A = this chain, B = another copy of it.
Amino acid sequence: MTPRVVGILSPGDMGSAIGRVLHEHGLEVVTCLEGRSELTRLRAREAGFREVASYDDLVREADLLLSVLVPSEALAVAERVAEAVRRTGASLVYADCNAIAPRTVAEIAGVLTEAGCTFVDAGIIGGPPGAGGGTRFYCSGPDCSGFESLREHGLDVRVVGPTIGQASGLKMVYAASTKGTTALWTELLVAARLLGLEEALAAELEGSAVARQVMRGIPSMPRRARRWIGEMEEIAKTFEDLGLTPLMLQGAADLYRLVGETPLADQTSREPDPSLVAVLGGLAERVGK
């Protein structure tokens, strides 16, 4: 199956960037913006999306639907799509691209395959595609061909294996390595600041490649922290399902929740990121209260 019309739910930072790439590479891109903000509507139009009025229209028009959401919305949207597919009898490939645990993916796959969809498990590693580049679109499942064909439309698509859950699992362990590490280091650097040990710790960490790389990533974290809470919880679930402790990732979710409660998290990607010192200072102030 080679899709001609791709639906994207929803056109946030990541979804609109994907839509833009696909549109620029010859695909028609549609979305449904029921209940979404004017900013989202504007961003979607700018990225070349065509808006349809309802989920029914969306599943009728799209050959392939990409679900690109915050983790907490993934199941609810899948259920609404499944209802629309049942109502319309549409034929649809549904690719869940969210940062969710293999167990959550299995549940969503069940909902959609029961409704008659072909289900693809997908995991996105890297920032929104386009400008910076380097975004990898991993997929897994018994039939990934519909999703794989996006390779001919500007995306770096890679197949992990034949099983639903593999692509999401890869996203989970990779995100643990990056966002989990960022959470841990943010916490310990804030602790050092609260204890008046910033300089002593900096001297100890001098020359550490880990310290350098991790600290470089902290300034761009606050504006994404609220989105990452649910992602950390999905990784915790992934680990717990395997018989490993969920606590480290639940703690990472706590840390991002804390960041999300500060004005630091209101920053957008269009503004310059704050300095590391400003991030740690803002968090120390929030905790010190």
Contact = CB atoms under 8 A, between A and B. Distances in A.
Interface of A: 102, 125, 136, 138, 160-161, 165-166, 169-170, 172-174, 176-177, 180-181, 183-185, 187-192, 194-197, 200-201, 204-205, 208-214, 238-239, 242-252, 254-255, 258, 287-288
Identical copies of this chain, number: 2
Contacts of A252: 248
Given A196-B166, A210-B214, A213-B210, A244 B201 contact: no
B184 A287 contact: no
A170 B254 CA distance: 23
Nearest to A239: B191
A34 to B, nearest CB: 36
Nearest to A136: B204
A3 to B, nearest CB: 25
A200 B242 CA distance: 18
A254 B288 CA distance: 28
A251 B243 contact: no
